[in-house]
Amino acid sequence: MKKLYSILILMIVLCVGCQMKFQADDDENAPLVKVERYDRLEYRYLTTADYSALQEMNTEYPMETRTLLEDVLQLGDATDPDINNKFINFYQDPRLQSLMTDAETQYANMDSLNAQFNSVFTHLKKLLPDLKIPRIYAQLSALDQSVIVGDQTIGISLDKYLGANYPVYKKYYSAEQRKAMTRDNIVPDCVVFYLMSQYPLKSFDARSQIERDMHVARIQWVVNQSMGHNFFSSDNIDKVNIFMKKNSKTSTEELLKMDDFSHMLGK
């Protein structure tokens, strides 16, 4: 196992290529997002070899399946004739079987997470009106990346959020790392990584470490605002908070697009 990262619309256009599967907008109270249970198809196929589950993975979630096989598990090209055998054989490890079962048990009900996601993205749309709402799906990744961000998609690896005291984690992660491997971290983690994909830091590789840290801090500050409490805390987030209080006319959008951090750093 690896140790690793509105005006009412009259008609909804379904973009098959991008897998855009939003909720119907005919009800103004319809949720903005709902976590799609791709993990259940994955679990069904990997534990029972149910070919219909694999077919649904490939037809309903082709990009997610390709990403899982090629980029997350690194089993080879998704078009490899033997890829399905590699996939199912990989998960025959008893530890992975147990990990999947525990994840499916802990996350049998996702209502609370769906409520949190909808609350956060409702607030984010007020702060960032042009922000595109992502599709969110759950998966099982054999302890690979916790969150996978694609083209307006967020994939949550449920097996990376089974609790700080989950026995298997103690073999692969430090106590500090395990603190973030809980259900409470799912929503803030997902929103941080999604905002970082939507508001990347220009010339990231050429930036100093403090500039990179401040970029993360401003993203975390925005997430705190959207959650209604300070989930993330650090000295750099405090600097962002002080800057925004002193510059109350600065919008959240402007904050996230700033290239110069000197004012936040007191230079």
Three-state SS for 99?
A: helix
Q: Which pLDDT value is given to residue 89?
A: 95
pLDDT class for 6, splitting at 50, 70, 90? Answer: very low
Q: Which pLDDT value is given to residue 186?
A: 98
pLDDT at 169 over 60: yes
pTM for the structure as a whole:
0.86
For 54-108, what is each residue's pLDDT tens digit? 999 999 999 999 999 999 999 999 999 999 999 999 999 999 999 999 999 999 9
Residue 136 φ/ψ, nearest 5 degrees:
-125, 130
Pull the structure tokens for residue 244. Answer: 């925004």
Would you say 140 and 98 are in contact if contact means Cβ atoms under 8 Å apart? Answer: no
Number of residues that make up the chain: 267
